Amino acid sequence: MKILKFGGKSLAQPQGFETVLSIIEKQYKSNSPFHVVVSAFGDTTNQLENLLEQAVKRENHKSALALIKEQHYTHSPSDISAELKLIDNLLEGISLLGDYSLKHKDLLLAQGEIIAAKTITHHLSQKGLPVHFVDARLLLKTDQNFGQAQPLDPESRQNILAYFEENLNGKIGIITGFIGSTSTGETTTLGRNGSNYSASLFASYLYASELQSYTHVNGIYTANPDWVHNAQKIEDLSYEEANEMAHLGASILHAKTIIPLLNKQIPLRILNTFNPEDVGTLISADSKSTGIRALSVLEKTSLIQLVGKGLLGKVGIDARIFETLAQHQISVNVIAQGASERGIAFVVHATDTQQAIKALRLEFKKEIETQDISEIFPLENVSVLSIIGQDLSTFNRSYNALINNQIVPLLISNTVTGRQISLVLHHHQLQKALNIIHGEIFGINKKINLFIFGVGTVGSVLIQQLLQTRVTLEEKKKVSVRIVGISNSKQLLFDPNGIGDDWENNLNNSDLHSSPESVFELTDHYHLENLIAVDLTASAAFTETYPQWIRNGFDLVAANKIANTQSFEFYQKLRRELKKHHKEFLYETNVGAGLPLIDTIQLLHQSGENITRIRGVFSGTLSYLFNEFSEGTSSLSSVLEMAISNGFTEPDPREDLNGNDVARKLLILARELDLANEMTDIRIQNLIPEKLQSGSVTHFLERLEELNPLYSQIKAKQDANHVLRYVGDLHGDLSQQEGAQLDVELISVPKASALGQLQGSDSIFEIYTESYGSRPIVIQGAGAGAKVTARGVFGDILRLVNRK
């Protein structure tokens, strides 16, 4: 014989109600004996509680009551008039008195289950099933703890066995969950979600072969699927694991449900009313699965803290704490104690907070007066996240992932068995923490959330690259790199589930204003984790906001080189913020576009290699200009005009020719070697004659030929087989600040040298080190262009992904 239990969500809508009837019909046709335990329809219990509070305040409760009546009459023409009249009378009496007892509250709430059971009994009877309405109050006897009644085991068992033998031979019992009665017949309830407990008790007393609990989901999941969209269904659990999950907040399981089943070794199967073909989750003694099983969450809690330096060496403080709480029927969930009892913290339900503080202050009044206890205080709005099956030896990855996302647990507790860890967190961090830890533990695609700022050529290409490779990354790296935000200078496009191919049109039509504050509000609201801000702008103002992004949990990737070339004071401040908040800032494309230059220099420097010089052609534009000019017969102005027409230069070519861009790149490399240089320390040769340095762009372009005499003369004065190269050169004694020299200049080099053999718009970098001597490490390749720069930014993003 089986017990089938149907929850309120299964019965909430007419469709659900009809589905429940069909499941019961199908079970009946299988010729396998069973009985049914039911909860109240939908949200009826909460609605009745709200009516109670309205009545006690003498507010108008009649319209809300009429709505409840209407909802229940749509389910059935069965005679529930007595129950509805009793609800009317109770509320009228409470409204007159302006008060109520827990006894009256239990009697009111019980009507929800009675109406549901009567309605189902009527409908099944109409279908020809041999059903029998069972009012559990006649059978399930409890103590007088109204609202949280405990069953009286021997009496209840005897009543149930006798009643079922006498009245239900060959019939299906439709049993009211949640309710019982005292030995004098006064109605009691078994606490919230008590229908599960009722079903467990009836299964135990009747020696059922299985308890099947029908809900609105396919079983128990590795996390709440409403919060973690890729949570996985658990096929089986042991009684012990299920019991831990129930005590630690799993909403589908009642904390007391497992014990009666465990004592009789009765399996519990969690099934979906709306997907009855799914096998659900089986809880039994035969579970063979091991390892980390699930994450449970306990909300609406407070952390009570008792602190006192004067407690050092005193025995029995903790015993007094828990005896006091027990006397006030306050349950404690997570406990942590400091060395020598100087401090203790524990979690209680939020509704018990003030009572717990008051009781403890009274109990320790003497110690407070003598200042042995300095404080007893609550930290409210906290939640508990528990990892079932986790031990401390493998918790480091999850912990580091939390820290990287700016989440620091208030308290960490490990069980004696070492197979469960509980974290106490600020409630607003709970959903984000749940997704982070779930991704770390269960190896499901980790979510990386990108905000891209700047949608020029590089930005557009990067977005295209990311969208084209997202499926490959999910399949090969098990990581979901999602663009959740795209911003131009004014507008912000946002989608917490990821932005798609039509981003450009959607951005233009977006009414969201782009600002750091608006982004932070969105990431907090949607609990987004693993955040990366990608700066593809050329904005100095945006780089000044970098510390804000870091403090709000973002790692940074930038093609924008301004942050690394501002004052050394800002440069150091930025690094301090990164270190303080455990964030990273990657900027490989600042100097060599997609070339692995900065990464190589960092690796050499951090490994202790003494870098003695860095020299190279840093500008793709100037590389093209002087490669063509040196090798061909065309004038410099003609080559420059060709570069302009091909889009190789800035709109104002003087931005390339003045040498400042090369100087900024050289400064970045100097700072990578821990040199505290400023832009003013760099000797820069401006390629533009002084008379052409001012004036409009048009005026300059009209006078390009004035460049030719100077540069034709420079070219002609070279030694044989030499070519011109515009280089950045970091040299001198780089082991000390005063010895470093930074030069940006046009030089003549042998055509057969590494610099001399450069072609097209490639960049080249020579890294001289003590170990390599006169033979430098040479890094050469495309040093400019939207595609290679975007690919370099993509590479930085992937580096961050791999480190998370």
Residues with catalytic roles: 665
CB 268 within 8 A of CB 258: yes
Map residue 552 onto helix, strand or coil. Answer: coil
Map residue 143 onto helix, strand or coil. Answer: coil
DSSP string, 758-778: --TTEEEEEEEETTTTTS-EE
CB 628 within 8 A of CB 798: no
Beta-bridge partner residues of 741: 731
Instruction: Tell me the one-letter amino acid at 216.
Output: H
Map residue 348 onto helix, strand or coil. Answer: strand
State the Cα angle at 285 between 279 and 288, rounded to 5°.
70
CB atoms within 10 A of CB 542: 21
Positive or negative, the CA dihedral 174, 175, 178, 179 is positive
Map residue 626 onto helix, strand or coil. Answer: helix
- Map tokens 């504050």 to a residue: 517
- 781-795 exposure pattern, b = at least 16 Cβ within 10 A, e = fewer: ebbbbbbbbbbbbbb
- 148 class by beta-carbon count within 10 Å (0-12 exposed, 13-18 middle, 19+ buried): middle
**Torsion (CA) 500, 552, 411, 345 in degrees, nearest 10:** -130
Cα separation, 111 vs 456, whole angstroms: 65
Q: What are the helix (H) ranges across 211-364?
A: 239-247, 258-264, 317-327, 353-363
CB 355 within 8 A of CB 364: no
- Strands 131-134 and 268-272 come out as unpaired
**Torsion (CA) 236, 216, 440, 335 in degrees, nearest 10:** -80
